[in-house]
Amino acid sequence: MSARSSRKARGDRTTRASSKVTALTLRWVGGPGGYLSLLDQTLLPARVKYLRIRELPVVIDAIRRLAVRGAPAIGVAAAYGLVLGLREEAPATAAAFRRSLARVKKRLAASRPTAVNLFWSLDRMAARAGALAGGEYSFRELLRGLLDEAREIHEEDQRLCRAIGEHGGKLLRSGWNVLTHCNAGALATGGMGTALAVVYSAVETGKKIRVFADETRPLLQGARLTSWELMEAGVDVTVACDNAAASLMSTGQVHCVVVGADRIAANGDVANKIGTYGVAILAREHGIPFYVAAPSTTFAPHTASGDGIPIEQRASAEVIDGFGVKTSPPGVDVYNPAFDVTPARYVTGFITEQGLLEPPYKRNIARLFKTAGTHG
């Protein structure tokens, strides 16, 4: 087999495998009486288990305990969750429907505070519900219409991920080593991912790419999820301890950093998994490009800067008793933010579905929303 044929074969394997992972992450099965099938990511890589979710509290619990995680995937899950919540309440009148909608939306919105896709998705579903409820009231038709909207949100995310990958894949050169932090692949979205979509697309075109996956403490999304996903896709991946990033960069083993995002402020400040800020500083110090791959739905144009982004604080047990292993003395104080904010000055560019967005970010982010006509 020629080198070209070998690269093509590897690209074909990647396409099939990444598509398989995409299909596994979450999907709606059946019609309005169906259920949400969700891959429980807390069990990976040791066990692959699907949750068949038919009730709103189970969706909320899945979001809170990170059975589903990643801003785009949370948004898709919330859209389906709204359908389940309304189905449970089955309001008999238009007025009761409006009350149920507000109640279910509020419960879902409280599940996690940082990922902006959650709120964007719920607002979009509520707007669709308002439009559908404008005529003669039929709960069955409303529920069917909302399920169609949730599916469209899901399919739209798949299209956005593909476009992000195609734009970002052009930035990578064959032979490059790419460092990632946390998981921003198919497991974190409704499609093929954001940061990892860039890698998948590059590999599909025959480029040889190696990924260094930061383990991403304390919940090890890089070690558990990114490495699993990339191995499923046939992509060369090496797990590195979080505190090895500086060593990798200083020895010339990292050519590019690509991460995802949970919320991007109007000035370009980025909230992403805790530790991202440190990686960005290291990349700047070593002259390595630092890209953020995210759809327009992850931008929050009404959040002026990173100072306005709420940072979720998570349970101390994740740090001192992670995965059932005690690593700190009982009763010790713990600082466990889920995210940090990387100032815009450290970002080389944002890889979006419309292409590469470069500084000045405040002006160009505003222009992105004028062009895309997306949420505000």
Catalytic residues, by residue number, are: 262
Cα(133)–Cα(110) distance, rounded to whole angstroms?
25
DSSP 296: G
* Residues present in the chain in total: 376
Cα–Cα dist 302/106, whole Å: 20
| CA distance linking residue 29 with residue 36, whole number of Å | 6
* H or E stretch at 299: strand 299-300
State phi, psi for 131 to the nearest 5 degrees.
-65, -40
Name residues whose C-beta falls within 8 Å of residue 204's C-beta, 6 or more positions apart in sequence: 11, 14, 15, 169
Task: Report the C-alpha gap between 257 and 275 in whole angstroms.
Answer: 13
If you search the block for the tokens 């238009």, which residue do you land on?
94
Please give the Cα distance from 55 to 60 (Å, whole number). 9
Distance CA 176, CA 209 (A): 5
- Residues near 248 by beta carbon (within 8 Å), at least 6 away in sequence: 179, 212, 240, 254
Burial tier of 312 (Cβ tally within 10 Å: 0-12, 13-18, 19+): middle
- Residue 261's identity, in one-letter code, is A
Contacts of 236 (CB under 8 A, 6+ apart): 208, 209, 210, 211, 230
Cβ contacts of 276 within 8 Å, gap of 6 or more? 181, 182, 259, 270, 339, 340, 342
Q: DSSP letters of 100-114?
A: HHHHHHHHHHTS-SS
Contact 346, 278 (CB under 8 A): no
